[in-house]
Amino acid sequence: MPGHIVALGGGGFSATGVPTPIDAFILSLAGRPRPRICFLGTASGDAESYLARFYRAYAQLDCRPSDLPLFQTPLTHDLPRFVREQQAFYVGGGSTTNLLAVWRLHGLDRLLREAWDAGAVLAGMSAGAICWFEAYLTDSVGSDLAPRQDGLGFLSGSACPHFSDDPKRRPTYQRLIAEGFPAGLAIDDGAALHFRGRELADVVSERAGAQAYQIFVRDGHLVEEPLQARLLG
């Protein structure tokens, strides 16, 4: 049975290197003490500063952190074996389109699907949240927000991060869905969608007011339906 997916609109450790309640929540889903969690910084080009924030944050939590750099030449990991050894993965933010291209080049998309099917936790922020869906709204292509339908497809429909925090996101995403883009889920910074397998099980947040939204067309009219988030302690 597939494991969990946790999709953060923004937030988590990424801004400060300090763990937040969502980071602890991700680890709790692994269902074992000191789970192995791997950081995938592909979307940021494996930026060293981002990697340092991950290790600084997760060193304060009960886990065994590692990372998988794909811009290193040559790769020093046996990818299939390394991926199988992890109980959780955290995908950082950055360019969604670059992330998907590099993963597909190395076959990591297939390996992550196998890990998820075997029960692993897949988590991520921004690009690392929307990559799991069939479609997504991204600023990775040119200077404007763009709709893409080349996601991994682990989850159906579309997704949009930073929904209430970037003033361009809400009107753009609403317009696209009204015009026929796949209906989907929008996520505020500080909020996260929790899927068990392919089913949305919960919406959680690390700050008051952060939530998620279902956006779809019903009887020819656009509907934005708030999904209240459970504030984590």
Q: Which residues are catalytic, by number? A: 126, 162
d(C-alpha 12, C-alpha 27), whole Å: 13
d(C-alpha 16, C-alpha 53), whole Å: 7
State how beta strands 133-138 and 155-160 pair: parallel
- ω before 74 within 30° of 0 (cis)? yes
Backbone angles phi, psi at 89, to 5 degrees: -135, 140
Task: Give percent helix, percent strand, percent coil of the chain, each to the nearest 5.
Answer: 30, 30, 40
Residues near 171 by beta carbon (within 8 Å), at least 6 away in sequence = none
The dihedral sign for the CA sequence 18, 38, 128, 30 = negative
Residues near 2 by beta carbon (within 8 Å), at least 6 away in sequence = 116, 117, 119, 154, 197, 198
d(C-alpha 57, C-alpha 17), whole Å: 5
Backbone angles phi, psi at 67, to 5 degrees: -145, 160
Q: Which of 220, 219, 201 is nearest to 229 (CA)?
A: 201
